[in-house]
């Protein structure tokens, strides 16, 4: 691995208005008062010399794609070994899957037991490179634990705002990692309002979902891995649990970048956003052919990560669904619990409730024939069930 200046990062670009920003300075979202959209990291893919064959000789972490990640100097990489999680076939559901090839990517095997490790590794690494000392995040659970862990590794101070109803395990890990912790009576939106105010007061850097450019870069490595692990053949359908939606947007970005590299062709998967009935604004907007979602919060769900009343990047999520000829499904807590138990009993894997929601959604889309015979389908299990045991035993 090169020791410095290996990233092909060139600049940041607003996804809405196209305004460009320097990648050598700290940024959040587009500075245009009439825009405020997310900033996307851009790379010089024409300058790439990395080959797919060379990847096979690199460490099995997300940093194997170092040229397409934003850190200039390797001394600034803050890593706990995140990424390159396995893709595993579902073997015991032939009556349901038929002749479809169905797999899941197990993100619970990341550090801090969820896919959030990817985004926070990239964000904290770049923040370190740009001189950040204190960070803040509103979180439904997993992102707070990941921020606390990577901030501890980086020698930074983290501030975490989390709903009171979040299971104890999430709160405990944040405290163990040494972060300053604040419980909030409400949803992640309420946490966001309070953390934003405190960040402005104290000068903390806000790493909220898609309100800085680099969590997305860590999440996109799921897309790179999916392509590589499927031997550069893209699945027909990908189901994704959609709260803030960073992972879905990141995977879609990865496929575009891989085509620019010449590593895949034009084929794209049909993307499926799976939401909880309690916060299904994306689902309703998609089904009603709307370009943006409305605020929707009907209270607590056992899938804490899906309680996002209005994602900051709702327009982009909906655009991805439509560009991919995708779909959306809304799932209730009783259906999530049934799916979780079914996967556990027959596959020996305890999926996070957000991931388990995908199994119910898969059955819905199979029964309706939207997922056709012979297709290859991937479900993204985004975390471990073990942190959610409070939810399950109180349900």
Which pLDDT score, from 0 to 100, does residue 391 have?
A: 79
Which pLDDT score, from 0 to 100, does residue 188 have?
A: 87
The pLDDT > 70 percentage for the chain reads 98
Q: How confident is the model at residue 187 (pLDDT cuts 50, 70, 90)?
A: confident
**Bridge partners of residue 40, in order along the sequence:** 13
39-43 sheet: strands from edge to edge: 20-21, 9-14, 39-43
Contact 127, 27 (CB under 8 A): no
Mean pLDDT of all residues in 19-40 = 95
Does residue 1 surpass a pLDDT of 50? Answer: no
pLDDT tens for each residue of 250-308: 999 999 999 999 999 999 999 999 999 999 999 999 999 999 999 999 988 999 889 99
Which pLDDT score, from 0 to 100, does residue 210 have?
A: 86
Q: What is the DSSP string of 208-233?
A: -TTSSSSHHHHHHHHHHHHHHHTTT-
User: Based on C-alpha coordinates, what's the Rg of the chain?
Assistant: 20
Residue 12, SS3? strand
Does residue 2 surpass a pLDDT of 50? Answer: no
**Distance between CA 124 and CA 143 in Å, rounded?**
12
**Range 263-297 burial, b when 16+ CB lie within 10 A, else e:** bbeeebbbbbbbbbbbbbbbbebbeeeeeebeebb
Question: Mean pLDDT of all residues in the chain?
Answer: 95
Domains 87-114+214-394 and 116-206 equal at CATH topology level:
yes
Which pLDDT score, from 0 to 100, does residue 395 have?
A: 56
Mean pLDDT of all residues in 14-20 = 96
Which pLDDT score, from 0 to 100, does residue 390 have?
A: 85
Which pLDDT score, from 0 to 100, does residue 5 have?
A: 57
Residue range 116-206 in CATH 3.40.50.1100 = yes
Query: What architecture (CATH level 2) is domain 87-114+214-394?
Result: 3-Layer(aba) Sandwich (3.40)
Contact 253, 285 (CB under 8 A): no
Distances (CA, A) of 309 to 78, 111, 313: 31, 27, 12
Lowest mean pLDDT among 10-14, 84-88, 185-189, 369-373: 185-189
Query: Of the candidates 86, 81, 82, 83, which has an alpha carbon nearest to the alpha carbon of residue 105?
Result: 86
Tokens representing residue 281 in the block: 């604004």
Tokens representing residue 96 in the block: 């349901």
The domain limits of the chain are 9-70, 87-114+214-394, 116-206
């Amino acid at each position: 691995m090169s020791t410095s200046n290996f990233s092909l990062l060139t600049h940041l670009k607003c996804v809405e208005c196209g305004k460009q920003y320097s990648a050598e300075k700290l940024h959040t979202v587009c500075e245009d008062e009439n825009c405020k959209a997310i900033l996307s990291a851009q790379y010089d893919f024409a300058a790439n010399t990395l080959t797919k064959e060379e990847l096979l000789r690199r460490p099995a972490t997300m940093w194997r794609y170092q040229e397409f990640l934003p850190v200039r100097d390797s001394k600034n990489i803050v890593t706990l070994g995140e990424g390159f999680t396995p893709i595993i076939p579902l073997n015991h559901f032939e009556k349901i899957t038929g002749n479809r090839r169905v797999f899941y990517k197990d993100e619970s095997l990341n550090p801090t037991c969820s896919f959030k490790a990817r985004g926070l590794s990239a964000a904290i690494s770049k923040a370190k490179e740009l001189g950040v000392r204190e960070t803040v995040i509103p979180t439904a659970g997993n992102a707070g634990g990941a921020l606390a862990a990577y901030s501890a590794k980086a020698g930074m101070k983290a501030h975490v705002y989390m709903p009171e109803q979040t299971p104890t395990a999430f709160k405990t890990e944040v405290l163990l990692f040494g972060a300053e912790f604040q419980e909030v009576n409400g949803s992640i939106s309420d946490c966001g309002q309070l953390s934003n105010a405190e960040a402005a007061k104290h000068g903390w850097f806000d790493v909220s979902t898609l309100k800085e450019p680099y969590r997305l870069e860590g999440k996109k490595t799921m897309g790179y891995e999916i392509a590589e692990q499927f031997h550069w053949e893209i699945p027909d359908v990908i189901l994704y649990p959609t709260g803030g939606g960073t992972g879905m947007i990141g995977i879609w970005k990865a496929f575009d970048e891989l085509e620019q590299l010449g590593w895949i062709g034009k084929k794209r998967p049909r993307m499926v956003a799976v939401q909880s009935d309690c916060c299904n604004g994306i689902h309703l907007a998609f089904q009603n052919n709307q370009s943006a979602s409305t605020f929707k919060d009907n209270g607590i769900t056992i899938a804490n990560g899906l309680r996002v009343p209005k994602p900051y990047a709702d327009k982009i999520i909906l655009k991805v669904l439509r560009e991919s000829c995708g779909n959306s499904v809304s799932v209730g807590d009783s259906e999530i619990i049934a799916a979780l138990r079914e996967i556990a009993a027959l596959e020996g894997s305890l999926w996070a409730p957000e991931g388990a929601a995908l199994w119910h959604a898969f059955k819905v889309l199979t029964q309706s024939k939207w997922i056709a015979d012979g297709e290859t389908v991937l479900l993204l299990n985004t975390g471990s069930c073990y942190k959610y045991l409070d939810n399950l035993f109180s349900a």
